[in-house]
Amino acid sequence: MESKCIDVGILGATGMVGQQFILQLANHPWFRPVWFAASERSEGKAYGDAATWHLSTQMPDEIRVARVEACTPGRGPQLIFSALDANAAKEIEPAFAKAGHLVISNARSYRMDPLVPLLIPEINDDHLALLPAQRRARGWPGAIVTNPNCSTVVLSMALAPLRQFGLRSVMVTTLQAVSGAGYPGVASLDIIGNVVPHISGEEEKMESETQKILGALQGDAVSPHPVTVSAQATRVPVIDGHTESISIALDSSPSIADVVAALRGFRGRPQELGLPSAPAAPVVCVDALDRPQPRLDAERDGGMTITVGRVRPCPVLDVKFVALGHNTIRGAAGAAVLNAELMRAEGLLQGD
């Protein structure tokens, strides 16, 4: 579609997700990262000196020498991606929206705000219709759009194709990668050879965010989906990729073949529009009994696909399976870039 490249900025550019933004945006056909901001610790330094690079793909040379700025509203481009720590995001993101920026955020701070879209473009692209009401209510020329918690993305993408069978209740146990905790994250003595059965706030986020994402837009509000979600979150010694063991109770009684066909057939607006970061199939259902595995499946389709395997009957609920997604790509930076691509394709970026 459009050939013009739009300048974009990144708040929290030096962190784990910020670095993934830099890779997702390097050579992007529509967006060009030109402005990088972080905390006072990094402000004024060259990016290469401020950030401890954690990714196996090398830091792009032009980014290494870019100056890290303060998070000052009004300074960067109109379109801003945010990978800020949630405490910082609480103050900084509304200040940017007030100054006229469109903030596409990863932070939890505004995900459950009734006027803020909690977007997964394959599932609820219509929730972008909340933006005029958000701008009116807050008096902002800009806006905030969020993407979900990294575990919630995996769960919601696996549940969305099954809405047709009547989602009643869900039990989910996560096995989450250490990169999900940012850097330096979990101490090595806590995680090597170990499983930690608690991630602060994670279970509550999965339980509430899923209902909002799958919910129906009614006027200027999202009516949450009635599905009950019970989540148990664990941290495991894996670098990237959140695995989830999911059991679901359904209103109807589809066969396992029907469930697999629904997962495999799932497509959304990004696939219809052919967005640059959209995988051909957002959910890939594999037959091998020992998949998905983080090391083998997290990077599928550039990390934008959710891989599902071991679909089988559940003797307690109705159906169970294992789902996996890349937490800093589909669960964070890649998700936000897809949100911005959707907004551009739908003509929702100002001044484009």
Q: What single DSSP character describes residue 51?
A: -
Backbone angles phi, psi at 141, to 5 degrees: -75, -30
Tell the smallest beta-carbon distance from residue 62 to ligand NAP (Å).
Answer: 19
Which token pair is 350? 């100002």
54 is catalytic: no
Nearer to ligand NAP, 93 or 318 (CB): 93
71 is catalytic: no
Q: Does 328 contact ligand NAP by CB under 6 A?
A: yes
Using omega within 30 degrees of 0 as the cis cutoff, is the peptide bond preceding 292 cis?
yes
Nearest to 98 by CA among 132, 74, 131: 74
Work out the number of other CB atoms within 10 angstroms of the CB of residue 54.
Answer: 17
Burial class (CB in 10 A: 0-12, 13-18, 19+), 192: exposed
Residue pair 184/87 in contact (Cβ under 8 Å)? The answer is: no
The DSSP result for 322-344, as a single string, is EEEE-TTIIIIIHHHHHHHHHHH
Nearer to ligand NAP, 52 or 255 (CB): 52
The interface with ligand NAP within residues 159-188 (CB under 6 A) comprises 179-180, 182-183
Nearer to ligand NAP, 4 or 41 (CB): 41
Cα 283 to Cα 268: distance, rounded to the nearest angstrom: 11
User: Which residue among the candidates 150, 225, 285, 326 is catalytic per the annotation?
Assistant: 150
Q: Binding string, 285-324, against ligand NAP, x = CB under 6 A?
A: ----------------------------------------
Q: Does 17 contact ligand NAP by CB under 6 A?
A: yes
Q: Does 152 contact ligand NAP by CB under 6 A?
A: no
* Residue with smallest beta-carbon separation from ligand NAP: 15
Q: Binding string, 60-79, against ligand NAP, x = CB under 6 A?
A: -----------x--------
Backbone angles phi, psi at 340, to 5 degrees: -70, -35
Tell the smallest beta-carbon distance from residue 35 to ligand NAP (Å).
Answer: 14
Which residues are annotated as catalytic?
150, 242
Which spans of this chain sit near ligand NAP (rule: CB under 6 A)?
12-18, 38-39, 41-42, 71, 83-86, 88-89, 106-108, 150, 179-180, 182-183, 327-328, 331-332
